[in-house]
Amino acid sequence: MRLFQRPIPAMGIAPAVTHAINTGMSAADTPPIILVLNGPNLNMLGTRQPEIYGYETLADIDAACKRHGANAGLSVEFRQSNHEGELVDWIQQARGRVAGLVLNAGAYTHTSVAIHDALLAVEVPVVEVHLSNIHQREPFRHHSYVSKVAKGMICGFGSHGYILALDALSRLIKAPPALPQDIEEA
Ligand code: DHK
């Protein structure tokens, strides 16, 4: 049963609690959903410049994320698109539905104001991931529109970055950092 007609905003409330209220289920019996989104060309992992992106396929990373998520009590949804608008649609649909977002926006990381704006609009904690260390690569990869709105960014650890991102979100969801006004002066 739904407690509210409209999704409540996530600000100041643990995402797992918001998710539980919005879905009408108790936080105890629904694993929080983590949406893992992948942008353009990541469907070619395994064959695309393996010296940079590794030999694992996106299906391998999907399976590893779902396995790791299940062990951590998270339900992982894993998607990829080569289309900016489709990624924006998926980000918008995450509002009030998912507890966290792992995003490797591929080349859109460096170009997409639309993805930046969608991330701002949904108020879902985001961890940005890149397989490669973008700061050791061409200058055009050094700027990220995602970093500006992400909780944090992981790059340079290959596919393990996705696992690190799930762990970071899991910790955030289960024990959100105290708000500054909750911390008493000593
Ligand atoms: C993936 C891409 O497709 C590039 O466009 C980014 C990122 C880096 C990665 O390392 O995962 O520049």
User: pLDDT tens digits for 73-118?
Assistant: 999 999 999 999 999 999 999 999 999 999 999 999 999 999 999 9
* Residue 10 maps to a domain: no
pLDDT at position 11: 42
Active site residue 130: yes
DSSP result, 85-150:
HHHHHHHHHTTTT-SEEEEE-GGGGGT-HHHHHHHHHHT--EEEEESS-GGGS-GGGT--TTGGGS
Q: What pLDDT was estimated at residue 177?
A: 64
pLDDT tens digit string along 37-68? 999 999 999 999 999 999 999 999 999 999 99
The residue from 53, 108, 145, 162 that is catalytic is: 53
Q: Give the whole-number percent of the chain exceeding pLDDT 70.
A: 79
- Which range of 14-18, 76-80, 177-181 scores highest in mean pLDDT? It is 76-80
Question: Catalytic one among 108, 116, 130, 145?
Answer: 130
Considering the domain boundaries, does residue 169 fall inside one? yes
Q: How far apart are CA 70 and CA 62, in angstroms?
A: 12
Best of 80, 103, 109 to mutate for ligand 1, by most ligand atoms within 8 A of CB? 109
Residue whose structure tokens are 């996705």: 162
Question: Of 8-12, 17-21, 93-97, 160-164, which gets the smallest average pLDDT?
Answer: 8-12
Residues with CB under 6 A from ligand 1: 41-42, 104, 106-107, 109, 130-132, 134, 141
**How many structural domains compose the chain?**
1
- In ligand 1, the atom with minimum distance to the C-alpha of 107 is 5
Q: Is residue 104 part of a domain?
A: yes
* Ligand 1 atom 1, closest CA: 106
Please give the residue that has the higher pLDDT: either 6 or 133.
133
157 CA distance to ligand 1 centroid (A)?
12
Domain assignment of residue 17, yes or no: no
Q: Residue 40 corresponds to which amino acid?
A: P
Could you tell me if residue 107 is inside a domain?
yes
Dist. CA 171–CA 155, nearest whole Å: 19
Examine residue 6 and state whether it is found in any structural domain, yes or no: no
Q: What is the CATH number of the domain that holds 104?
A: 3.40.50.9100
The answer, yes or no, to whether residue 155 has pLDDT greater than 80, is yes
Nearest CA to ligand 1 atom 2: 106
- Cα-to-centroid distance, 12 and ligand 1 (Å): 32
User: Measured in angstroms, how far is the CA atom of residue 17 from the centroid of ligand 1?
Assistant: 33
Kindly give the distance from the C-alpha atom of residue 68 to the centroid of ligand 1, in angstroms, as a whole number.
23
Domain that holds residue 99: 31-185
- Closest-lying ligand 1 atom to the alpha carbon of residue 137: 12
pTM of the model: 0.83
